[in-house]
Amino acid sequence: MKIAITGAAGQISYALIPLLLERFKFPIELSLIDLEEKVGQLRGLEMEIEDFCFPQVKKVASGSDEKTLFKGADVAIFLGAKPRGPGMERGDLITTNAATFYRQGKILADVANPNVKAIVVGNPANTNALMLIRGGEYRLKNQIQALMRLDQNRAKSALNLAAKQREEVFVFGNHSPTIFVHEATSEVTEFVRKRGAEVIKARGVSSQASAAKAIVDHLEDWMSKDERRYSAALYSEKNPYGVDEDLVFSFPYSNKKGILKLPLSQQEKEMLLITEDEMKKERQIACTILFSN
């Protein structure tokens, strides 16, 4: 299985690769992509991957040539994006990141395995995923998901800490302060909404290890032969919640059945509209940036 990773010289990637190789034992080819000026660091990472000595790693390639490195990819993990710093919202990054994802969407749709599974992590993840889909002229609309598993894991952990353990926890909407946790108290939703910013405030940089763990959890569920139910941001076409059909929106999802229809309370229906509205505004900003010249 060929796994391509963008932003591969960054810190999420550094945490992700050993976790991924501990979890997935099938034959793997890694394609590490980053900017031209980071190619030296990628070479160092390649050396460390060789030194891990994981027998399932059949090949490692790295560089900045996206066409070559995405070619034939079965899985693509999009980490590469300008990260937010203290005091910023994730949506503030659209100006810098929309064009990158739009460009990469075309390349991915042109050269990757037509059945590729792509996960977008770089923020604003949902709108970046939409730009990836649009860049590829919607050819991969059902194969691109944005990472919501970090929010789901945060919600689950908050419920565990409050001794309200639940088997399944789902989050709806945007990976932003408008997200909400299904059937949870406002304290749990607030916790999830603020957690990313709290981590940035405390560490000076955004979550890396927990994001890496969430990516592996998400991929494992998505690729599982058994049915798995989890939160994922998906292309919203024909969703059963009446959400605008051209967004990448977090819904409860089954890797075998697609979007799951769960009952929403009146308050949840109102929160759904707020997070949908925010995503429509992000889409508008991204499209203005992309198509204004």
Minimum separation from the CB atom of position 94 to ligand LMR (A): 13
Comparing CB distances to ligand LMR, the nearer of 27 and 86 is: 86
Q: Does 84 contact ligand LMR by CB under 6 A? A: yes
Examine the residue annotation and report whether 218 is marked as an active-site residue of this protein.
no
Q: Does 196 contact ligand LMR by CB under 6 A? A: yes
Minimum separation from the CB atom of position 218 to ligand LMR (A): 13
Q: Is 38 helix (H, G, I), strand (E, B) or coil?
A: helix
- Main-chain phi, psi angles of 271, to 5 degrees: -65, -35
Structure tokens at 170: 């789902």
Euclidean distance between the first and the last CA atom of the chain, given in angstroms as a whole number: 39
Minimum separation from the CB atom of position 241 to ligand LMR (A): 23
Question: Given 141, 175, 182, 195, which residue is catalytic?
Answer: 175
Residue with smallest beta-carbon separation from ligand LMR: 196
Binding-site member from 2, 38, 90, 182 for ligand LMR (CB under 6 A): 90
Minimum separation from the CB atom of position 199 to ligand LMR (A): 5
Task: Tell me the window of 70-78, 158-166, 204-212, 256-264 that interacts with ligand LMR (CB under 6 A).
Answer: 204-212
Identify the residue whose tokens are 């789901």.
152
The residues near 242 (Cβ < 8 Å, ≥ 6 apart) are none
The residues near 118 (Cβ < 8 Å, ≥ 6 apart) are 75, 76, 77, 78, 108, 112, 132, 140, 143, 144, 145
Q: Of 105-124, which residues contact ligand LMR (CB under 6 A)?
A: 123
Q: Does 206 contact ligand LMR by CB under 6 A? A: yes
Binding-site member from 13, 62, 207, 236 for ligand LMR (CB under 6 A): 207
Spell out the alpha helix ranges (H) of 71-185.
Answer: 94-111, 125-135, 149-161
Task: Tell me the window of 8-16, 199-207, 224-232, 275-283 that interacts with ligand LMR (CB under 6 A).
Answer: 199-207
Q: Does 213 contact ligand LMR by CB under 6 A? A: no
Identify the residue whose tokens are 């659209």.
94
Task: Tell me the window of 205-213, 214-222, 237-245, 281-289 that interacts with ligand LMR (CB under 6 A).
Answer: 205-213
d(CA 125, CA 269): 22
Identify the residue whose tokens are 């690769």.
17
Nearest alpha carbon to residue 243 among 206, 282, 279: 279
Q: Does 150 contact ligand LMR by CB under 6 A? A: yes
In DSSP terms, which residues pair with 145 in a beta bridge? 119
Q: Does 156 contact ligand LMR by CB under 6 A? A: no
Catalytic residues, which ones?
175
